[in-house]
């Protein structure tokens, strides 16, 4: 990310990704992670699961992993899309790259 426009659009994409994750990724991530955890605990301890602390902790850990994977995937995808959009706008010439870099250089002085 060399230019400020690509940085700004990548940050906008990451922010949009966080909102999308909160709306559409949190529940499915925990649901799929919990289902995987129940299967894994069922392989280890047999089904139906008994209400023991170890089987519950395995399901909890897998739910957390499902939420983390969902969040990482959504935020990475949207920030990449934002960066790509900024790169396309920069390459099209709608915003001159030299002017943006000069403004940054002036601010740093």
pLDDT tens digits for 7-59? 999 999 999 999 999 999 999 999 999 999 999 999 999 999 899 999 999 99
Q: Note if the pTM is more than 0.85.
A: no
CB 12 within 8 A of CB 35: no
Cα separation, 82 vs 107, in Å, equals: 24
pLDDT of 81 higher than 60: yes
Tokens of 54: 């170890």
* Residues listed for the chain: 109
Q: Go through 67-78 and write b for each residue having 16 or more CB atoms within 10 A of its CB, e for each that does not.
A: beebbeebbeeb
Mean confidence (pLDDT) of the chain:
89
Cα separation, 25 vs 66, in Å, equals: 10
47-50, long-range: CB < 8 A, 24+ apart: none
């Amino acid at each position: 990310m060399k230019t400020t426009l690509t940085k700004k659009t990548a940050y906008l994409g990451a922010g949009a990704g966080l909102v999308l994750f909160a709306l559409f990724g949190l529940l499915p991530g925990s649901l799929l992670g919990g289902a995987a955890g129940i299967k894994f605990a069922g392989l280890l301890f047999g089904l139906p699961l008994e209400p023991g602390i170890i089987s519950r902790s395995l399901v909890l850990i897998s739910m957390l992993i499902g939420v983390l994977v969902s969040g990482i995937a959504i935020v990475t995808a949207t920030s990449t899309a934002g960066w790509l959009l900024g790169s396309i706008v920069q390459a099209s010439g709608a915003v001159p790259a030299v002017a943006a870099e000069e403004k940054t250089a002036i601010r740093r002085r």
